[in-house]
């Protein structure tokens, strides 16, 4: 415990340097804006800024602080458009529209925004404390993992995500397998064999991570924005008081605590992200509040619950990435790709080998959330102005900035063209309801999965049984199968029951 505290202090020393504080502030500001723009969410924000941070030659800890601040900021920003426009700014804020917009219609936009900022802060704070307490323990436990366990752990992560997202199992599986397949392109590092390069020199190092990310989360996103482009509704005006009062705060205090804790633990589980956490917490708070509550008509608890939960789970989802090197969501998969750009391999040894980076990142989460709370209550009117950025300026602007990042890192147009083509394919897959998170997770994990599989089989001299030999591995296999089939089986049983009742 003592050592944790001193390491955290070291982290604050890293995150507290003037440059890093400035970077965190910029990240928070940009993140909030990206979050509040409907159509752009945390994954787009992180994806677009990642190559630029790399091109600016930021040191790894500063780049991570920037990306984490953007990530945290997006989770705050999503609620602004949810409350004022009735359009969630990102997927985690869907539930916030249910009570946020009615509150704004009643003239309580100010209190709705400030209590949701408070809820976001509370969720993020609880989750960051959770990271400090649990991440080192989990890392210590995972250090005992051999290559076989690691391989199965990655299978589990992919199954969790595949089991929970999208409506069809084959589609989730295909998305994840395409990601894995693309990760094998290039020279095989063990044997020097060229795989799927089709004699193209540019492909011999494999498809760059940044190219995939920009294609999937910038180019295809812009195409979707054109498809969904609707005449912009006018945001509600903020009239009256900005701050919530004591009565409103006291009404929500237990909601905040419950949802923050629940959100954190849901976030730690691979696959279940901010969207699921906020939906579950909203539903349970609504049930707890009883019949005579105002849920759905503008109850403060209905705004506080999903916001606390989605911020807590967003931070909680950093735990598996930092401790196991196995991200559980699309956004954390992109962040992990950022680490690998700097030749840092996340995993249980990260806590020992790179304490500066890990603890600097954790400390920066505390700092970023305090900044976000400070930015989001008094400056709310400034952020609201950004809601009126017209799409005709936003879409080409995002296109240009995305290309700047890729060009700056790789310096050739082959990658720009490749990224655009991948974006086109990504658009088709997304319109056909293929979930995109398993795609990026498969691409990020592919190389590590193959390496661990080959290492495990080298140790056992080709004996495949090594993958099922240890109790941990067996447990992980069982969990993987349960996560893949479980959620859909439950849904099917639910439908049966409803059909029988009707």
Q: Which residues bind other proteins (CB under 8 A)?
A: 52, 55-57, 167-171, 173-174, 177-178, 180-181, 184, 188, 190-193, 195-196, 219, 222-223, 226-227, 229, 390-393, 395-397, 399-401, 403-404, 407-408, 412-413, 416-417, 419-421, 423-424, 427, 431-433, 449-450, 453-454, 457-458, 461-462
How far is C-alpha 134 from the chain's CA centre?
Answer: 19
Cβ nearer to other proteins, comparing 292 with 461: 461
Burial class of residue 332, CB neighbours in 10 A (0-12, 13-18, 19+):
buried
Residue number, 196 or 468, with CB nearest to other proteins: 196
Which SS3 state, helix, strand or coil, does residue 194 take? strand
Instruction: Indicate the residue among 322 and 467 with the shorter CB distance to other proteins.
Output: 467
Q: To the nearest whole angstrom, how small is the minimum distance from the Cβ of residue 11 to other proteins?
A: 26
What minimum distance in Å lies between the beta carbon of 354 and other proteins? 26
Question: Could you tell me which residues are beta bridge partners of residue 186?
Answer: 195
Query: How far apart are alpha carbons 67 and 338 in whole angstroms?
Result: 9
Tell the smallest beta-carbon distance from residue 47 to other proteins (Å): 16
**C-beta of 237 vs 492, nearer to other proteins:** 492
Residue closer to other proteins, measured from CB, 11 or 208: 208
Q: How far apart are CA 238 and CA 377, in angstroms?
A: 12
CB 370 to other proteins: min, Å: 26
In whole angstroms, the minimum distance from the beta carbon of 275 to other proteins comes to 21
Closest approach of Cβ 445 to other proteins, in Å?
Answer: 12
Question: Which residue reads 């004022």 in tokens?
Answer: 84
Phi and psi torsions of 263, nearest 5°: -60, -40
Residue 75 is classified by DSSP as H
Task: Tell me whether residue 379 or residue 421 sits nearer to other proteins (CB atom).
Answer: 421
The residue written with tokens 């989730």 in the block is 172
Whether the CB-CB separation of 79 and 42 falls below 8 Å is answered with: no
Nearest C-alpha neighbor of 356 from the set 62, 135, 61, 130: 61
Cα 222 to Cα 232, 433, 434, distances in angstroms: 16, 17, 17
Beta strand 186-187 with 194-195: parallel, antiparallel or unpaired? antiparallel
Distance of closest approach, residue 377 Cβ to other proteins, in angstroms: 29
Question: How many Å apart are CA 109 and CA 102, to the nearest integer?
Answer: 9
- Least distance between other proteins and beta carbon 314 (Å): 27
Q: Which is nearer to other proteins, 6 or 413 (CB)?
A: 413
Are residues 278 and 309 in contact, defined by beta-carbon separation less than 8 angstroms? Answer: yes
Residues 340 and 213: their CA atoms lie apart, in Å, by 14
Residue 183, C-beta contacts closer than 8 angstroms, at least 6 positions apart: 206, 442, 443, 444, 445, 446, 447, 450
For the CB of residue 400, give the shortest distance to other proteins in the complex, in Å: 5
**How many whole angstroms separate alpha carbon 191 and alpha carbon 499?**
56
Q: Which is nearer to other proteins, 432 or 501 (CB)?
A: 432
Structure tokens at 245: 């009062």
Question: Could you tell me the smallest distance in angstroms from the CB atom of residue 26 to other proteins?
Answer: 11
Enter the tokens of residue 223. Answer: 């195409």
Structure tokens belonging to residue 302: 């209905």
Pairwise CA distance, residues 180 & 300, whole Å: 44
Least distance from other proteins to the Cβ atom of residue 225, Å: 8
Quick one: 174 or 242, whose CB is closer to other proteins?
174
Nearer to other proteins, 417 or 474 (CB): 417
Compare residues 137 and 464 and give the one whose CB is closer to other proteins.
464
Spatial separation of the C-alpha atoms in residues 365 and 125, rounded to whole Å:
8
Bridge partners (DSSP) listed for residue 187 = 194
Q: How far is it, in rounded angstroms, from Cα 5 to Cα 473?
A: 33
Neighbours of 189 (CB within 10 A): 11
Question: Closest separation between CB of residue 462 and other proteins, Å?
Answer: 3
CA distance 38 to 84: 12
Least distance (Å) between residue 168 CB and other proteins: 6
Nearest-angstrom CA–CA distance, 394 and 222: 9
Structure token digits, residue 54: 């790399």
Q: Which is nearer to other proteins, 107 or 424 (CB)?
A: 424
Give me 388's structure tokens.
């009126």
Residue placing its CB nearer to other proteins in the complex, 185 or 357: 185
């Amino acid at each position: 415990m003592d050592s944790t505290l001193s390491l955290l202090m070291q982290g604050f020393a890293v995150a507290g340097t003037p440059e890093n504080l400035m970077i965190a502030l910029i990240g928070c500001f940009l993140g909030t804006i990206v979050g509040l723009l409907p159509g752009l969410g945390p994954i787009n924000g992180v994806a677009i800024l990642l190559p630029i941070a790399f091109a600016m030659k930021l040191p790894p800890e500063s780049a991570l602080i920037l990306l984490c601040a953007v990530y945290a900021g997006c989770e705050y920003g999503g609620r602004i458009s949810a409350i004022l426009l009735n359009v969630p700014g990102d997927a985690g804020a869907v539930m916030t529209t249910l009570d946020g917009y009615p509150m704004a219609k009643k003239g309580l936009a100010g209190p709705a925004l400030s209590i949701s900022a408070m809820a976001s802060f509370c969720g993020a704070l609880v989750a960051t404390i959770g990271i400090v307490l649990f991440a080192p323990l989990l890392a210590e436990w995972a250090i005992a993992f051999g290559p076989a366990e690691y391989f199965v752990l990655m299978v589990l992560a992919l199954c969790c995500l595949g089991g929970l997202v999208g409506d069809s199992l084959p589609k989730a599986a295909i998305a994840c397998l395409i990601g894995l397949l693309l990760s094998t392109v290039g020279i095989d590092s063990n044997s020097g064999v060229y795989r799927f390069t089709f004699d193209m020199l540019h492909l011999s190092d494999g498809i760059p991570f940044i190219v995939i990310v920009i294609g999937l989360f910038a180019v295809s996103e812009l195409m979707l924005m054109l498809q969904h482009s609707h005449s912009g509704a006018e945001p509600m005006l903020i009239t009256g008081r900005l701050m919530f009062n004591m009565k409103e705060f006291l009404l929500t205090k237990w909601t905040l605590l419950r949802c923050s804790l629940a959100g954190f633990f849901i976030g730690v589980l691979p696959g279940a992200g901010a969207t699921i956490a906020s939906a579950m917490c909203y539903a349970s708070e609504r049930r707890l509040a009883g019949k005579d509550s105002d849920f759905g008509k503008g109850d403060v608890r209905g705004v506080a619950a999903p916001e606390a939960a989605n911020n807590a789970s967003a931070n909680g989802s950093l735990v598996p990435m930092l401790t196991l090197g196995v991200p559980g969501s699309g956004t954390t998969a992109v962040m992990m790709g950022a680490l690998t750009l700097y030749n840092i391999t996340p995993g249980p040894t990260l806590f020992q080998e790179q304490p500066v980076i890990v603890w600097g990142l954790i400390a920066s989460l505390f700092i970023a959330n305090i900044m976000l709370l400070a930015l989001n209550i008094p400056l709310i009117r400034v952020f609201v102005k950004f809601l009126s950025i017209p799409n005709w300026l936003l879409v080409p602007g995002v296109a240009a900035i995305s290309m700047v990042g890729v060009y700056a890192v790789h310096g050739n147009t082959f990658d720009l063209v490749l990224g655009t083509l991948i974006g086109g394919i990504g658009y088709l897959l997304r319109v056909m309801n293929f979930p995109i998170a398993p795609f990026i997770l498969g691409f990020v994990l592919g190389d590590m999965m193959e390496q661990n599989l080959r290492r495990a089989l080298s140790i056992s001299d080709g004996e495949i049984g090594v993958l099922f030999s240890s109790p941990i591995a067996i447990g992980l296999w069982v969990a993987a199968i349960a996560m893949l089939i479980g959620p859909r089986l439950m849904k099917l049983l639910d439908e049966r029951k409803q059909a029988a009742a009707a």
